[in-house]
A and B are shown apart, each in its own frame.
Chain A
Amino acid sequence: MARAVKSQRKVLNTGLAWTIGLVIFFPILWTILTSFKTEAEAIASPPIFLNFSWTLENYAVVQERSDYMRFLINSVIIAGGSTVLGVIVAVPAAWSMAFVPSARTKDILLWMLSTKMLPAVGVLYPIYLLFIRLGILDSRVGLVIVVMLINLPIIVWMLYTYFREIPGEILEAARMDGAGLREEILYVLTPMAVPGIASTLLLNFILAWNEAFWTLNLTAAKAAPLTAFIASYSSPEGLFYAKLSAASTMAIAPILILGWFSQKQLVRGLTFGAVK
């Protein structure tokens, strides 16, 4: 009897959750479907859901007309470069804060996070001006630096959280066995730190890929990544729904897949391990 009630509830839960899930996912699904339609089918009234003639034409047109590859490469370089550079700067910092904490460690960590609260728009013009002076406006180098800096506090925090979870006993045991600093780092700590570093890389790549304020304001033609490329569709040309959809699908697909793989780390990373 109780069993029947239970399985009935399970059916109900499943139905409700799937309905809500599909409603939330629908805009993405609709975009992907539309990207395979012709323009006429994309704006057909009433809307066509699945019974259209699938075509890859939009993808070809988007690539041909606006050189999608160049924007993609810019996105990869900016997101990848800023993430790698950020981790190189952040690993030693987080490392020393986690393993050689001092009275001021917590203050430094909070101060770092507070730089994240600096409203970008408040300092846009100075950065704009500096970039002109340095000749790095609309350049990948400039954006790599800016995106690295805006994500640096989060990288440090994430790595700090992960490093702190490495048990100190293991380190002490290694020291008792006569391991020097080099052995300690190479053979004991690194293998335990790699998963944390990998999650940090992943999450920051996602954040950097989707960063829109600085990429929109500091790039024009040469270094514009996909965020800016898509924004160019807000012009009347964007009324071509099928092409807009193809471009959008190409811009979000890589990161959507990465994101799904890293959902567990996402929670820990974005909440600095405060929610478990």
Chain B
Amino acid sequence: MATQHSRSAARLMMTPAVVLLLGWMLVPLLMTLWFSFRRYLPLRGGDLGWAGFDNYVRFVTSSAFWPSVQTTLILVGGVLAITIALGVLLALLLDQPMWGQGVVRILVIAPFFVMPTVSALVWKNMFMDPVNGLLAHLWRFFGAEPVAWLTDVPLASIVLIVSWQWLPFATLILLTAVQSLDSEQLEAAEMDGARPLSRFAHIILPHLGRAITIVVLIQTIFLLSIFAEIFVTTGGAFGTRTLTYLIFQRVLESQNVGLGSAGGVYAIILANIVAIFLMRIVGKNLDR
């Protein structure tokens, strides 16, 4: 159907987007790769020459590396688990007949539109502050000692903040999927005497499979590079340093570009391993 003429026109129309993204990908990537093999300390003499694999070895063997990987995995895994579990339950609830469904929906999805810096600051100061925070008031009201959230349970606190931001997204996607569920099939199962739990496990959950993979995909992409929430709340202290944050500190705070770049290459490799898995799933969805 497409003529030779329209094909070359199409190629021309695609060129700007392809060239821009190729440049965006390749130029900084090659520079990062180059720096990662240099001893590059902008504030202490600049580029001091070839370093071989020194930076790579130093980054992996530094005492901060494995904890940061662990923190990253806990953060991503924790937020995914919370948002998907609660998201499924909330989506099922919101699908039930009720009054003011539209308004409830608006209330539930609101956090998704709140800037990460705002949500981090509001949670840090107005809720988690051990003196004036609302949670401290609540604890005192019940006669308990207030928790110093961001110093005593810092990682859990950040997981809570980030989950609050992403629960709306998971709920919204899952709700859309729940609404496309075939109600006749559910009724038939009910007639056959299937209990609610088995209806959930055998009909609802498999139906939500695709939506859940999409939620995992999108959230993982964004969660692997969480930055503002940590920057504003703990600044990477108290064991909340993710891989992203560790690299940020090496490059910008301690101005060791070579070392940070080696870390960057590791982060890129990690992201790509995750991406390959996730892309397969999206690719399958495309084939439909």
Contacts and interface: CB of A to CB of B under 8 A. Distances in A.
Nearest to A119: B267
A221 interface: no
A121 B264 contact: yes
A112 B17 CA distance: 9
A45 B140 CA distance: 10
Contact of A275 (B123, B177, B228, B275): B177
A125 B221 contact: no
B99 A10 contact: yes
A123 B247 CA distance: 10
Nearest to B212: A275
B261 interface: yes
A105 to B, nearest CB: 9
14 contacts: A17-B98, A24-B108, A47-B134, A89-B20, A108-B18, A109-B286, A120-B244, A121-B248, A122-B265, A255-B113, A263-B106, A270-B173, A270-B218, A275-B214
Given A129-B31, A266-B172, A34 B126 contact: yes
A106 B286 contact: yes
B9 interface: yes
Most buried by A among B20, B27, B117: B117
B176 A125 contact: no
Interface in A48-83: none
A35 B156 CA distance: 28
Interface residues of B, number: 102
B260 A28 contact: no
Contacts of B228: 212-213, 216, 227, 231
A96 B10 contact: yes
Interface of A: 6, 9-10, 13-14, 16-18, 20-22, 24-25, 27-28, 30-31, 34, 43, 45-47, 89-90, 92-93, 95-97, 99-100, 102, 106, 108-110, 112-127, 129-130, 149, 152-153, 156, 206, 209-210, 212-213, 216-217, 226-228, 230-231, 233-234, 238-239, 241, 244-245, 248, 251-252, 255-256, 258-260, 263, 266-267, 270-272, 274-276
Nearest to A120: B225
Given A24-B167, A28-B114, A119 B98 contact: no
B244 A121 contact: yes
Contacts of B194: none
A21 B107 contact: yes
Given A28-B111, A233-B121, A241-B126, A156 B17 contact: yes
Contacts, number: 295
Given A24-B167, A93-B17, A113-B282, A210 B32 contact: no
B264 A123 contact: yes
Contacts of B214: 271, 274-275
A125 to B, nearest CB: 5
B14 A252 contact: no
Most buried by B among A97, A209, A266: A266
Contacts of A31: 118, 122, 126
Contacts of A125: 31-32, 35, 251-252, 257, 260-261, 264
A31 B120 CA distance: 12
A96 B6 CA distance: 9
B92 to A, nearest CB: 10
A123 B218 contact: no
B197 interface: no
Main secondary structure on chain A at its contact with chain B? helix
A234 B121 contact: yes
A241 B221 CA distance: 33
B20 A267 contact: no
Nearest to B179: A276
A271 B122 CA distance: 29
B122 to A, nearest CB: 5
B49 interface: no
B90 to A, nearest CB: 7
Interface string B11-36: 10110111011001101110110010
Given A27-B123, A117-B272, A252 B94 contact: no
Contacts of B94: 17
B85 to A, nearest CB: 14
B210 A275 contact: yes
Contacts of B283: 106, 110
Contacts of A106: 283, 286
A21 B108 contact: yes
B168 interface: yes
A241 B115 contact: no
Interface in B246-277: 247-248, 251-252, 257, 260-261, 263-265, 267-268, 270-272, 274-275
A122 B227 contact: no
A93 B137 contact: no
A213 B120 CA distance: 14
B98 A24 contact: no
Given A122-B264, A226-B115, A275 B108 contact: no
Contacts of A109: 286
Contacts of B198: none
